[in-house]
Amino acid sequence: MTSHKDVEEEISPMNAANDAAESEEFSSTDFISELLRIFKEADVDKGGGLDMEEFCVAMKKISKMTCENDNFKSLTEEDFQILHMKIDTNCDSTVDLGELLTFMLCQADATSNLDLLFPKPFKVTPMNHQKNIVKLIFNPLNDAEPTDTVSGGSQARVYLKGQYLSMTSNGILNFWTDRFESPQTFYLDNEENTLPYMQKRTMCVNDMVYLPELKQIAVSTNKRELAFYSCHRLPEAFEISNSLILEDQKLTSLNYWSDGTKAVFSVGDSKGYLYIFISNNVHQEGLFCQGSYEKMSLKKYPTVYISNLLTKQSKNFQCHRRHVFEDACSQIQFIPTLNSFAVCGASSRDMVLITLSEPHSVGVSTFRSKPGKEMFTCVEYCAERLVTGGMDGLLRVWIPNNTENPENIMVGHTKPVTHIMYNQKDDMLLSLSDDKNVHVWCTIKWMSEQSFQVQGMGTAPIASTCWNTINNELVVATSNVATTLGRGTDVFQKSVNSHIQPVCCTLYNNIFKQVVSVCQNGVVMLWNIITGKAELQFKVTPDQQVGLVAISFDEPQRRLITISQDGKVRLWNFNSGKELIVLSGTMPNKVTGIVCINDRIFVSGLNSRTIFNMDLEDKDHRYMRHKYLKDISSMDVHENTLITASSNAYIVVWKLWSVEAAEAAFWINTHQSPHTYMVDKRHPGQTGCLTVDMCKRKIAGKKQRSATSGKAPEYNRSLICLKTRENRVDIATLLTYAGDYIYAWSPKVKGGLLGKFKAVEDESAVLTTMSTDVDEQILLTGDSLGNVSLWDIDGFWSGKDSLKEPFEITNEWKVSLCPPPLLGSWKAHLTEVVSVMFDSKREHIVTAGLDCNVRLWTNSGCFIGLFRRHQWDLMSSSPQQNFDHELQEIQSMEKEKDQILKETKENCEEKSNFRMIEELEKIEERLEERHRSDKELEHKLKTKFQDLDKCDTLSETIEKARPPISDSQVYALYWRAMQVVPQIDIIDKNMRKRMKEPQQRATVKVKEGTENSPETSENEDNVSSPDVRDRVPPHDPRTPLSGFARKVRVKSPDVDHIVGRGNHLKNNVLTPCPPDTKPDCTIYVRKAKYGRVNKIQNNKKHDSASTPCPSARKAAV
């Protein structure tokens, strides 16, 4: 392994000139001394720093001095003043030379991230392959050159459609769309035929090339045969058209180049031999001479041996064989401008440059690694140089005729370099190392322009790559495929977003006319609201950290305060991206509010009851707590009061007398009462110095967070204070929202809720954010469906006379339900709106959503543009009009949906009216039939029964008029009733007591003269036998039943009679036993839960003469 010391010794003499050239302007002694002289001359008061006027004088001289490479030539006096404020972050009104140079260097570093070649992350497409993909090829659908077009105010070329070809090591070939969808799969291992009684070898693919002129695919495997597959009949058939056979060794690498007419095909084998095949007219003559093919072959397709091609040469076909080195050929790169081949070996120790000077002469140049090093893992030709990658992670730049020492060495990778690719259209070089790190290099300075990681591809190294230089799309593969589309095409321009991750928050700076936004991966973007261009980009969170990031300006709006998932409070110069200070202590990981007052900031979190009172100078940190606050969902400041809201519906108003003196003054429970109450003097809240233990994230806090994450309603999601309003009882100075309502409060004693209104139109939407303009005359709201609304609150809730009807009276408190006038509403985002704000002049509105976009609108809702995707000029009299295709499609779809719903509703109403009329007609017919049948039945009853006064009601008479049923039907109904679960509310008290007893004893006296039958204890099946049921006499339906029989009803609608159980039937089967009569037999009936008979046991032996008859057994049960 190469040591770092050896690498430094090798690099230092090579890059000395480049480093000096790069830093010549800002690090040369002459330039620094000249700047120092100008600053000393401009410092009239000798204070060590330049004030605003002195700074402008000095910068004018510097701009004249650096006219060749000028950063300040186009700046005016006003621009110099703004530059002074950007550098002077501590607001001491002075800027020294060190601050200027630091600002310029940091700004240059932050601006270098704006025009990245691949700004988007990789998109992983999982495959069902068990083996790695060894080759990826892009094949455009047509040979037309991409044309340039204007998209979003910038030049972009048209994205060319095509297909990707992927080959796995076990011979699975897939034809994909350019989005890696709908593959056509072919298994090459099944295409090969073996002779009878021969064992079939497993296919192992080494390399693959595509021949567009012949529409063939050449595949090299572990066999001594190179198969050419025809693509003419896709997708119906994919078969071998011809093959090239090696007599000695196996093929290991392939390369193909063509200019449309001339084709150069080269192969390398496992013994270090290079075979070169040249066809001067590949379209008409093919790749190989037709006379060299075998006349008779065991294969089903034509075959040709390399030995025949070497011996049979012609004018249109040339074939060369050259032994390169004692190593297997791992890569072959043809260089058309040099008419040469660069070949790397599998050991990475040597690289050979073979030049075809004449038709039959070959020149060889060998590049060898230094002892102990492996410098040639891969090779690429660009900018008239050979660039090689090594096992030490270094890229070396070679002059082709100099094989001793490299011209330049590029440092960036820490693992072996596996792939190098060149894009001639954009003049960019790309390298990939074994640790999935990608570097984009500039071929002019030989410096890294971008470095990014391939995420989501597992731990296996990248097996193959394809840089689609036509569309600037990078594809990498293991057993899965990952793609990223670079800038340059119209498709990229239409798909680019303001951020990669969802936006957390946006701010507008009134001083510098800038928009600051941050996303969940911690990237802060600085936008120019006049042009829509990105001015700066820097990261405020550690790498690989994704989550909510809270940002805010300090009170002078010179510094940016950020709090990320690690809980650290950081201060930044957002105009240069320089980190100024990191405060001690750890904040909650879900910050809900940052309020700046003088040199202190108040920080609150949703998972903490503590309000952190932090000193920006990192000296005196304090805290505040109150028992009413379960957590802090939002907070704001009004005059000398800090208003905090909790998700448990409490609002606590704090009086800030000084840094040390702060106490809770008022409290509101928005869920229980509309009044404002004074805090009990015995519970003014806790304040004190912040200790280290308070800053630690305890486990208890996590338990509390999980406990509060249920479906309980959340109140007071956010609040804002109307700072321009007078703090009076009848004036609302506090606005809160929860769900779909906005509430206006007066947080003073004898004050309370003055008004509320519903601020969303859709029932499924809830409010997510709100803000006001500078004068607090217009309220802006955003909801969960992406809609933005403007409300005119000028004069609303500003006195008793301003409260308008209708009113709601709660606890003798009158609340106005009249909403303020709605100025406008439109759909601004496809997802939830996280921020909405006015500019300083109230002419434009900036919105941000979870769709990763920040948009600019006019105050009337007209779309201006999407930051980073579009460009505009607000100073122009006729600004360019941009279109958001995504929103337009969604809006058109919603209009079509509404139209369809409207038409469907109208049709449904018409159909429902017809159906209702039909149903009413049917009901009327049924009622008429029933009425006629009742009349007929009533007439029959009147003729049959002369004395109707004896009947209680007509229903009883109708019931009595029904025909009786047979005894078998009674017995069947009895057993069906035994299966019914009696309801507890229809069972009398006596029966409930009986059901609770473990056993119920029934004594039955057998009627004399009955027929004998088998004993019950021996044969219980006779109880349900048909002959027993036939012996049961029929029951008269006119005879009323008593006891439990009247209360147990049969659930089946087909059964209309009541079955009695547990009572003796009068004048029926048996007569009740006298009380003093001793029974002949005793039967124990053991009941189940619902009265079902489980077991009948006879505990007394008796003779056959005293055996009860089946009728007796039935009555006993």
Please check whether residue 886 is in contact with residue 869, taking contact to mean a CB–CB distance below 8 angstroms. no
Q: Whole-angstrom Cα distance, residue 646 to residue 644?
A: 7
pLDDT for 718: 86
pLDDT of 180 strictly over 70: yes
Q: Whole-angstrom Cα distance, residue 127 to residue 479?
A: 7
pLDDT of 339 strictly over 70: yes
pLDDT for 886: 74
Q: What is the pLDDT of residues 216-253, one digit of tens each?
A: 999 999 888 999 999 988 878 888 999 999 887 889 99
Please check whether residue 781 is in contact with residue 770, taking contact to mean a CB–CB distance below 8 angstroms. yes
Better-predicted residue by pLDDT, 660 or 169: 169
With a CB cutoff of 8 Å and minimum separation 6, the contacts of 293 are: 242, 302, 303, 304
pLDDT of 1079 strictly over 50: no
**Which residues are bridge partners to 72 per DSSP?**
none
pLDDT for 189: 80
With helix as H, strand as E and coil as C, how does 354-369 read?
EEEEECCEEEEEEEEC
Average of pLDDT values for 766-793?
Answer: 95
Q: How confident is the model at residue 194 (pLDDT cuts 50, 70, 90)?
A: low
- C-alpha distances in angstroms, 895 versus 857, 888, 900? 21, 10, 9
pLDDT for 105: 84
Start-to-end CA span in the chain (Å): 98
User: DSSP assignment, residue 618?
Assistant: S
Average of pLDDT values for 419-433?
Answer: 93
Please check whether residue 852 is in contact with residue 868, taking contact to mean a CB–CB distance below 8 angstroms. no
pLDDT of 15 strictly over 80: no
pLDDT for 969: 67
pLDDT of 796 strictly over 80: yes
Which long-range contacts link 1066-1072 to residues 24+ away (Cβ below 8 Å)? 1066/1039, 1067/1039, 1068/1033, 1068/1035, 1068/1039, 1069/1032, 1069/1033, 1069/1111, 1069/1114, 1069/1115, 1070/1004, 1070/1005, 1070/1007, 1070/1111, 1070/1112, 1070/1115, 1071/1007
pLDDT for 341: 96
pLDDT of 118 strictly over 90: yes
Q: Whole-angstrom Cα distance, residue 653 to residue 646?
A: 12
Q: Angle, nearest 10°, between helix axes 52-65 and 77-87?
A: 110
**Is this model's pTM higher than 0.75 or not?**
no
Portion of the chain with pLDDT greater than 70, in percent: 72
Residue 341's nearest CA partner among 278, 394, 285, 433 is 278
pLDDT for 369: 93
> For the ranges 304-308, 414-418, 929-933, which has the lowest average pLDDT?
929-933
pLDDT for 362: 80
Q: How confident is the model at residue 471 (pLDDT cuts 50, 70, 90)?
A: very high
Q: What is the pLDDT of residues 908-951, one digit of tens each?
A: 666 556 666 666 667 667 766 766 766 666 666 555 544 444 44
Q: Whole-angstrom Cα distance, residue 591 to residue 493?
A: 34
Q: How confident is the model at residue 967 (pLDDT cuts 50, 70, 90)?
A: low
Q: Encoding tokens for residue 815?
A: 């609340």
Portion of the chain with pLDDT greater than 90, in percent: 46
pLDDT for 1008: 43
Q: How confident is the model at residue 1047 (pLDDT cuts 50, 70, 90)?
A: very low
Q: Whole-angstrom Cα distance, residue 890 to residue 786?
A: 11
Q: Whole-angstrom Cα distance, residue 582 to residue 598?
A: 18
pLDDT for 956: 54
Average of pLDDT values for 566-576?
Answer: 92
pLDDT for 398: 96
Across the chain, what does the average pLDDT equal?
79
Better-predicted residue by pLDDT, 912 or 77: 77
Q: Encoding tokens for residue 685?
A: 């809240």
pLDDT of 975 strictly over 50: yes
Residue 329's nearest CA partner among 431, 255, 381 is 255
Q: What is the pLDDT of residues 872-915, one digit of tens each?
A: 999 887 767 788 777 777 777 766 766 766 666 666 666 556 66
Which long-range contacts link 9-13 to residues 24+ away (Cβ below 8 Å)? 10/394, 10/409, 11/394, 11/409, 11/411
Please check whether residue 867 is in contact with residue 855, taking contact to mean a CB–CB distance below 8 angstroms. yes
From the CB of residue 173, how many other CB atoms can be counted at a distance below 10 Å? 22
- Phi first, then psi: give them for residue 709, nearest 5 degrees: -95, 20
pLDDT of 1037 strictly over 50: no
Residue 506's nearest CA partner among 106, 833, 858 is 833
Q: How confident is the model at residue 39 (pLDDT cuts 50, 70, 90)?
A: confident
